[in-house]
Structure 1
Amino acid sequence: MRAISPILCGAVLSAMLAFPLAAQDPAAAVPTAAPPVPAAAVDAAPAAPAATGAPVLTREDAEAWLDGFFPYALAAGDVAGAVVVVVKDGQVLLQKGYGYANLAERAPVDPERTLFRPGSVSKLFTWTAVMQLVEQGKLDLDADLNQYLDFPIPARDGKPMTLRQVMTHTTGLEEQIRGLITADPAEITPLGEALKHWVPERIHVPGATPAYSNYATALAGYIVERVSGMPFDDYVERNIFQPLGMASSSFRQPLPPALLARMSNGYARASEAEPKPYEFISLAPAGSLASSGADMARFMIAHLQEGAFGDARILQAETARKMHSTGQASVGPLNRMMLGFYETSVNGHRAISHGGDTQWFHSDLQLFLDDGVGLFVSMNSSGRDGATGNIRYALSRGFADRYFPAAPGAADKGVPAEDATLHAQQIAGTYTSSRRPDSNILSLANLLGPVKVVANEDGTISVTLALGAGGAPKKWREVAPYLWQDTTSSDRLAADVVDGQVTRFSMEPYAPIMVFERLSAWNALAMPLLAASLVVVLLTVLAWPVSALVRRYYGARYRLQGTDARAHRWARIASLLVLLAMGGALGLVVAMLGKLEMTSPGNDGLIVALRLFATVALPLGAAISLWNAFEALRGRRGWLAKAWAVLLALSCLFLLWIGFANHVIGFGANY
């Protein structure tokens, strides 16, 4: 998954994983070796000067530029090592390692031998496998994919799920992260079993709303298994790795020993120097690949040459062209989702790409189709404060601006100032990502991270999610009706407008895989009301021992009597139960999103227990707080105590509603 997360993304992110259904001979995981890809003969003929005066993409110029970029970027970002590969015109122009694959041993990154985890770049191999079966007539992109499965995927609005929807991330599925990543090989779940455990709900209209889905990608991998009659790992090795000579690549988990010995360590930060365990991914077709930079060069060349690599061919030219150019619109004129690739056209140059992230590895693959150029980078550390995302963006954008700059043209005149001000006010508000959990306890994350659009005084807009490299929100200036452009780049933002109201928007580079949908005024207030309610409950709990100590210190007696006294005492107990239930749920969700190992099935018992506790505590707390408010209003408490009792009752009722609406109340551990 690309470091586009919310949002994951945001992830809510994003941003994977499983073991083959049948045991395999580890030796079979290594395809037969092929001759090395020849380096481009850049000195054989003088390169034609660029019409725009831009530097010509040669090995010498690219190496000098990258040598100036990477050492500082890695050091500033606290990243241990990286591999970068540039291909051009069917040959490797440059492949180079920077930093270290093993900090303790000071082992440098070797682009030929060192393996990295490209995360969701793995999906491109799954999509290639699907398209191989499509061109053989074994799969139909527009058929109900239930005909290829041994368990049902429910229709939405009478519409079945199709492979076209899967490849364009428009299935409508909500986010699913249970078992996303684990460090324990005993927790690897067979692909079919992982998919059948729980089918996420389809929360969007199929074919209309981009919402990136690891589950849907893994579903496509499972279909490849069933239709081909062989485990997914075997299929990819036989039909992609072996023809391309990718002898240093594998989806297998655990990784075969010969490849594991060459695997780069993963790190949180280079300065910490403590290697992290190998990451196992239960939805393997979505992100379990391990590969060298040199092998990724072969894959890029094959796609740039419309499926051909030397004498080998992994796709027919027509199939490759269809895969690269069939677009699913997002919002307005923004870059689209192709069949498996993100469209990332920039400066008038047609480009497609895919990014990928595990916890410790962060990667990006870019193909400039009409220029015959590919760029791949992978880093082995999360780094400091999202550094890897900034490095990838700066690398791809800097590379494009250097070698493929925009042709000179007339400056965009924009829109009249009064229209820009009106449209900025129309788009301002609170939004949520289409890529989100909705029917399970992780929907609490939607409350914690809403996306806000702000209208600035100068007529521009800012989005809380879209930050520049310095950490400040980007500014977007309107260049056409409801189309904005980043003031420091060519990235665009567009909105859908219905009856004069902005209903959703997206922005590049997010546009191919997610949109942002406007929240109602009530839902936009949910987060501040949640915070306020928790503060009221917390203060009530804290007042319990504090008031007791104050009375003891001054020798004052407890003045309430009878039913009023009982209601008051029980309200404090109820507040403690409510605080433990809702605070525990929020704390668990934050911890799970911050440390993906906590999404392991091993934590199912904890989630079930917490939800059962909340099922008792939240309704009980609301009932007792209402009783307490009733007794306070008819009793002899002072006006401040009466007001607090009513405020506490309203807070507990709101937290009860949050518990129901966000599935804290209930049973089970599907998410």
Structure 2
Amino acid sequence: MKKTLDAAVLDAAIDNVHRAGMPGLFAEVRDGDQVWCGAAGVADTAGGRPVDAGMRHRVGSVTKTFTAAAVLRQAEKGRIELDAPVGRYLPELVPGERGEAITVRMLIGHTSGLAEYLPYVYPSLKQFPNLAETSPQSLDDHRFTRFDRAELIAAGVDAPAVGTPGGAPGLYSNTNYLLLAELLVRVTGTTAEECVTRDVIERAGLKDTGFPTGTEIAEPHSRLYEAWLGKLDPPRDYSVFDMSFVGPAGSLISTVADMNLFYAQLMAGRIVTRASLEQMRRTGPVISQEGKLIEYGLGLYPMEAPGQDTFWGHGGTVWGGGTLAMTRADGKRQLAVAVNLQRWNSLDASGRPQPHPIDEALEALYRVAMYG
């Protein structure tokens, strides 16, 4: 068999990210039957405990692919119409004309025009997504707050609209995915977490993936360090946190191996039908939470380099942690990586995040992992 994974090159690339300033990271790269697992740095900056590629991790918005797949499976069963107005299912949550104008498909693809609720429930994030004008104070104030999902949705729905339903570009908003969670409740009679677990996680055969039942991550795991653009120095550990503030929009805990297995199963048409997968891969312009214009489908987005194959997947961030999971369209080449520091860039005099060596080192890791 031709060797397509160069372990020495991958080892060097992941070590370079650690040397650039990342406390710890771990990854799995697959190409057919070949597998490389790597880790560099520490899971605990105080004790020096090393990271390991088998660690559990908060995967943030990678959760959105799971939730989108659960909705599509219900659509395949005829319980949800993707182009039906959300007001047909949840009139009390999105009432009136907006409930009639916003479709389920718009929620999955972030083209509903509904605002992000985070700035309205975390007072110190009022200027979100402009992080330079925010502070992490609300993170400490609400570390153990158990949020009511309906109240979070109401904050996003009642906020000034950020676009017209179906308009382009859309705006990435967690409000959309909390509404999808409530839609799953309405049509299945179970919690959204139970539905995603039964229809997606168990269907994919994932053993180390699930929604949190408390504020801690089951062992083994890394601590999660938040720098908040230099405002937290040294970075603060937010690995213990009540994730009800994001729920089925971003609270899953998983491993890099499970993420690769999930996306491989998805791309093979084993989670949703191939017809549904094609719908997931139809993209339109959306402004990300970082303010970048991206192409976004239904819970998936593409990554590609000029002249190279297209990869599909999702990234995710939580307070202190980040992930990226990408799978080539044919399902054979895969990358899943987890990092234990977030918002490492410092700000210049005008408040703009400055480039950091971590950025370049991560991009180099992604390139060698995906394209060799």
Distance 1:235 1:389, change over 3 A: farther
Q: Which runs of 5+ in 1 are unaligned?
A: 1-44, 48-55, 308-313, 404-671
2:349 is matched with which residue?
A: none
8 Å Cα contact 1:73/1:391 also seen in 2: yes
Partner SS state of residue 225, structure 2: coil
Task: State the match for 1:305 in structure 2.
Answer: 268
Q: Does 1:118 align with 2:118?
A: no
- Counterpart amino acid of 1:120? S
Change (3 A) 1:274 1:344: closer
Distance 1:371 1:158, change over 3 A: closer
Matched, 1:279 2:241: yes
**Pair 186,73 (structure 1): closer, same or farther in 2 beyond 3 Å:** closer
User: Does the aligned pair in 1 maintain the 2:117–2:152 contact within 8 Å?
Assistant: no
1:239 corresponding residue in structure 2: 199
Q: Secondary structure of the residue that 2:203 maps to in structure 1? A: helix
Cα separation, partners in 2 of 1:162 and 1:383, compared to 1, 3 Å: closer
| 8 Å contact from structure 1 (residues 156, 206) kept in 2 | no
Instruction: Determine which structure has more spread, i.e. the larger CA radius of gyration.
Output: 1
Kindly indicate whether residue 366 of structure 2 is the aligned counterpart of residue 396 of structure 1.
yes
CA deviations over 1:301-345 (Å, ceiling 9, x no partner): 2123222xxxxxx22233223323x222569xx963211111223
Q: Give the Cα separation in 2 of the matches to 1:174 and 1:380.
A: 28
For residue 290 of structure 1, report the CA deviation from its aligned partner.
1.4
Q: Which residue of 2 aligns with 1:214?
A: 174
Candidates 28, 40, 47, aligned match of 1:85:
28
Distance 1:118 1:267 in 2: 14
**What amino acid sits opposite 2:57 in the alignment?**
F
In structure 1, the partner of 2:300 is 341
Q: What residue identity is the alignment partner of 1:82?
A: L
Whether the 8 Å CA contact 1:111–1:293 is kept in 2: the answer is yes
Aligned in 2, Cα 1:87/1:226: closer, same or farther, shift over 3 Å? farther
The corresponding residue for 2:48 is: 106
Segments of structure 2 that go 5 or more residues without pairing to the other structure are 123-137, 288-292, 346-354
User: In the alignment, does 2:4 pair up with 1:57?
Assistant: yes
CA deviation map 1:140-175 (0-9, x unaligned) = 110011122151425668961111111221111233
Deviation at 1:182, TM superposition (A): 4.1
Please name the residue that 2:163 is paired with.
204
Q: 1:323 aligns with which of 280, 290, 302?
A: 280
Opposite residue 83 of structure 1, the aligned amino acid is F
User: How big is each residue's C-alpha offset from its partner over 1:78-104, in whole Å with a ceiling of 9 and x where there is no partner?
Assistant: 222112111233x56222222222233
Give the counterpart letter for 1:396 in structure 2. Answer: Y
**1:229 lines up with 2:189 in the alignment:** yes
* Code of the aligned partner of 2:208: S
Partner of 2:348: none
Distance 1:104 1:146, change over 3 A: same
Query: Counterpart amino acid of 2:69?
Result: T
Which amino acid counterpart does residue 172 of structure 1 have in structure 2? Answer: G
2:148 corresponds to 1:190: yes
1:130 to 2:71 alignment: yes
Relative distance call for 1:392 and 1:227 in structure 2 (3 A) is farther
1:234-259: CA deviation from partner (whole Å, max 9, x where unpaired): 2222222223332222222415x7x5
| CA gap 1:201/1:253 in 2 versus in 1, 3 angstroms | farther
CA contact (8 A) 2:313 2:327 kept: yes
Structure 2 partner of 1:72: 16
Q: Deviations over 1:355-405 (max 9, x none)?
A: 2112211221212103621211110112642645544433324444x43xx
Whole-Å separation in 2 of the counterparts to 1:237 and 1:88: 27
Taking structure 2 as the reference length, what is the TM-score of the superposition? Answer: 0.79
Taking the aligned partners of 1:274 and 1:329, their CA distance within structure 2 comes to 34
Letter matched to residue 140 of structure 1 = E
Q: Distance in 1 between matches of 2:70 and 2:204?
A: 14
Correspondence for 2:104 = 163
Indicate the SS of the match to 1:357.
Answer: strand
Does 2:206 correspond to 1:264? Answer: no
What CA distance in whole angstroms lies between the structure 1 residues aligned with 2:362 and 2:87?
38
Q: Is the 8 A contact 2:260 2:325 kept in 1?
A: no
Compared CA separation, residues 174 and 97, structure 1 to 2 (3 A) = same
Q: Is the 8 A contact 1:168 1:337 kept in 2?
A: yes
Inter-CA distance 72–395: structure 2 relative to 1 (3 Å threshold): closer
Cα pair 1:103 1:273 within 8 Å, conserved: no
What secondary structure, in the 3-state scheme, does the structure 1 residue paired with 2:116 have? coil
| Secondary structure of residue in 1 paired with 2:284 | coil
Query: Residue deviations 1:170-219, cap 9 Å, x none?
Result: 11123331336745464121323432355233332221222111111111
Distance (whole Å) between structure 1 residues aligned to residue 34 and residue 191 of structure 2: 31
**Who is 1:638 aligned against?**
none
Residues 517-596 of structure 1 aligned to structure 2 (within 5 Å): none
* C-alpha displacement of 1:139: 0.8
- Equivalent position SS for 1:85: strand
User: Matches of 1:248 and 1:204 in 2, distance apart?
Assistant: 38
Task: Select the residue among 225, 247, 250 that pairs with 2:210.
Answer: 250
Report the equivalent of 1:176: 117
Q: How does 1:599-614 map to 2 (within 5 A)?
A: none
Alpha carbons of structure 1 residues 224 and 173: separation in structure 2 relative to 1, 3 Å: same
Shift of residue 277, structure 1, vs aligned partner: 4.6
Across the aligned residues of Structure 1 and Structure 2, the Cα RMSD in angstroms comes to 2.9
CA contact (8 A) 2:284 2:297 kept: yes
Deviation at 1:274, TM superposition (A): 5.8
Name the structure 2 match of 1:471.
none
Q: Secondary structure at the match of 1:295?
A: helix
Task: Answer yes or no: is the 8 Å Cα contact 1:87–1:300 preserved in 2.
Answer: no
CA distance in 2, matches of 1:115, 1:158: 38
CA distance in 2, matches of 1:351, 1:198: 31
Which of 1 and 2 has higher RCO (CA within 8 Å, sep 6+)? 2
Check the 8 A contact 2:14/2:38 in 1, yes or no.
no
Residue 268 of structure 1 deviates from its aligned partner by 3.3
Q: Which amino acid aligns with 1:85?
A: E
- How far apart, CA to CA, are the structure 1 residues paired with 2:171 and 2:155? 21
CA gap of 1:232–1:185, structure 2 versus 1, over 3 A, is: farther
Aligned pairs, number: 332
Residues in 2 aligned to 1:293 and 1:158: alpha-carbon distance in whole angstroms: 38
Number of the residue aligned with 1:628: none
User: Could you tell me how far apart the structure 2 residues matched to 1:231 and 1:291 are?
Assistant: 19
Cα distance in 1 between the residues matched to 2:256 and 2:28 = 6
In 2, the alpha carbon distance for the partners of 1:188 and 1:356 equals: 21
1:57 to partner: Cα distance: 2.4
Partners of 2:295 and 2:67 in 1: CA distance: 19
